């Protein structure tokens, strides 16, 4: 069994109205440098978004989340950032942002399987 690998992760939060400070978790990004792994899962709960701000259209927000997931996956059609090396894409995805989709602080840990870790974090933090 390979040794446990260090990993970093951040939660993607939707903040429809910054002045209210309310947010909902809508995704998780996990990066394990030693495994050359970058993965992201996203899901927008449109009903919860409407509860926070009835005026926010979930369509564009979902499109932002999906665009970020395509960047994490390295989809060449997602633009030049998606073609960057894995570690640069992770750092771009978790850079502080003042848009509706904002990353949390970056957290660290050790894992046996980065994909399983992503799935577990997604279930517990977003699902």
Give the pLDDT confidence of 23-66 residue by residue, as tens digits: 999 999 999 999 999 999 999 999 999 999 999 999 999 999 99
pLDDT at residue 60 in the model: 96
**Three-state secondary structure call for residue 120:** helix
pLDDT at residue 79 in the model: 95
Residue 106 banded pLDDT, cuts 50, 70, 90:
very high
The pLDDT of 83-93, averaged and rounded, is 97
Domain definitions of the chain by residue range: 5-125
**Three-state secondary structure call for residue 61:** helix
Contact between 32 and 6 under an 8 Å Cβ cutoff? The reply is yes
Give the pLDDT confidence of 64-81 residue by residue, as tens digits: 999 999 999 999 999 999
Phi and psi dihedrals of 96, rounded to 5? -55, 145
| pTM for the full predicted model | 0.93
The number of angstroms, rounded, from the C-alpha of 11 to the middle of its chain's C-alpha atoms is: 5
């Amino acid at each position: 069994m390979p040794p446990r690998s260090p990993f970093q992760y951040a939660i993607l939060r939707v903040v429809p109205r910054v002045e209210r400070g309310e947010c909902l978790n809508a995704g998780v990004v996990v990066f394990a440098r030693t495994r050359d792994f970058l993965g992201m899962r996203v899901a927008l709960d449109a009903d919860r978004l409407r509860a926070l701000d009835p005026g926010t259209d979930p369509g564009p927000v979902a499109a932002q989340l999906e665009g970020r997931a395509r960047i994490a996956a390295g989809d060449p059609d997602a633009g030049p950032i998606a073609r960057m090396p894995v570690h640069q894409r992770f750092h771009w995805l978790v850079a502080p942002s003042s848009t509706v989709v904002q990353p949390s602080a970056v957290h660290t840990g050790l894992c046996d399987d980065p994909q399983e870790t992503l799935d577990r974090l997604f279930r517990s933090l977003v699902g």
